Every structure is written in C-alpha cells, then in structure tokens.
Amino acid sequence: MKIDVVSQVDELKMDEIKNRTVIVIDVLRASSTVVTALAHGADEVIPVETVGQARQFQGSRYLLAGERYGKRILGFPFSNSPTEMCTAPLSESSLVLTTTNGTRAIQKSLKADSVLIGSFLNGKACAELAGKFRRDVTILCAGSRQHFALEDGLAAGYILSLLLQQFPDAITNDLGQAMFAAYEYHKDHLTNTLQETATGKRLLQAGNLADIQFCSQIDIYPFVPFLKAESLTIFTSKEEQVEK
C-alpha cells in the first residue's frame, strides 16, 4: 500500500485521486463540522463549492451552513462550526455546507474510488475503513488560504500512524513522514498546539475557542462520513457490500 499526504487542496494531482481512497481533512473546521452534524442527527451533509449553489437548495429540510474566511455567510442560519452542530435542530434534515477550503477539497476528490471525511474526532474509524478498502490512500489536507495548515497535517499524521499499524510495510511520501513525526511530538497537547496554528489564531481572535477545543478531541465518533452521489452520509454495512 502507498499512502501519500498532500499539503493543501491546490496541490492535489489526478494521479493522487484515480483508483485511490481519498481522506479529506479540514480540522478547523469543515471535516469536524461534517462529522459532528451527522453524529447529531442530520440525514446527510451536502458539500457545495459556492454560496450560490448552496442557496439553490430550497425547502424546510435543507439547512444552510458555511463560512468564507472564517465568517458566517450572510443569511445562513449556521456557520461552519462543530459546536453549533451539537445544538442545532438537525434531525431528519439535510445540511448544505459550503466553506472556503474544506468543501472545495471534497469537490476536487470526486474522481477517487472512495472519498472519506477524516478528523481527530473520528481518526481511528477513518483509518480502519480506509484499510478495509485495500487501495492506495491519499490523505488530502484542505489547507487554509492557499497554504498548508498544520492542524490538518497533524490529523493526517494521526491517521497515517493508525494505517501504518495495519500495514507496517506501507510506503509514504516525505510529507507523510514529516506529519507522522509532528503528530508524535504534539499528540499530548493538541488543544494548545491548535491554538498556535495560523487558523487557530484567527479563530481565537473571532471568539471561537470552543470550536478549537472541540476539534482537538480524539476519536469521540466511531464512524466515517462517506461520499455517495455527492452527499455525505455515515458509512454502513450496505456501502461495504458495494465496495467489496
């Protein structure tokens, strides 16, 4: 097995998608928001690239959430916030989500064999599912403002460490090796580290400490959001039969 880590969405190449499992990571905050929304009752999360696409979804079952450069989109009831998802009325709803980088990373991964959503919140489940597929893996860090984001790299390092436990002979690229080492160094103080990243500092300035603290939790959700027909739902045994 080959496991590559890609630094940010604009660096993704076709040979890192085709015939592969892609794990999209946007720790602060899109992937964390997706996982949390599904955990708290949403039937699905629909990731879209633009605000205009999001506004096309009409009806009471569709709830709009999103941000641009960390700020809530005007007229949207929810931001891109996992802590908001914990109390939002999500039961039997479809959350339509658009973010600066995270949903764009999902859209760029559409030609992969499988697209999974990973974070610290569900890293173990994500690594286990990717391992079951027995395909080469690309861990795509969404990044922030066209740059690498350390928080995404650390989550990639965590998921990579779990994959290497399953496949000790797997080959990873240089960035993967670096992120593995970085995670090992920072794993005992993730909350503090995430506050010191560029994205974390911006969230702190905007009063979003609670989101940072929430996103730094390890494996509180035992499931994986899985992209099917441009909608993210919880991967189930039914999808597993299709994958096999």
CATH code of the domain in which 159 resides:
3.90.1560.10
Residue 243 lies in a domain: no
Q: Which pLDDT belongs to residue 69?
A: 87
Q: What is the rounded CA–CA span in Å between residue 31 and residue 142?
A: 9
Distance CA 181, CA 172 (A): 13
Q: Is residue 13 part of a domain?
A: yes
Q: Is residue 241 part of a domain?
A: no
pLDDT of 47 higher than 90: yes
Average pLDDT, the chain: 96
Give me the domain span that covers residue 81. 2-236
Does residue 102 have a pLDDT over 80?
yes
Please report the DSSP string for 191-206 in residue order. Answer: HHHHHHSHHHHHHHHT
Number of domains comprising the chain: 1
Q: Which residues does residue 234 pair with via DSSP β-bridges, in sequence order?
A: 225
Q: Note whether residue 208 is domain-resident.
A: yes
Cβ neighbours around 99 below 10 Å, total = 28
Encode pLDDT of 152-208 as tens digits: 999 999 999 999 999 999 999 999 999 999 999 999 999 999 999 999 999 999 999
Q: What is the pLDDT of residue 32?
A: 98
Residue 12 has pLDDT above 60, yes or no: yes
SS3 122: helix
Residue 240 confidence (pLDDT): 62
Output the six-digit token pair for 58.
Answer: 């009409």
pLDDT more than 70, % of the chain: 97
3-state percent helix, strand, coil for the chain, nearest multiple of 5: 45, 20, 35
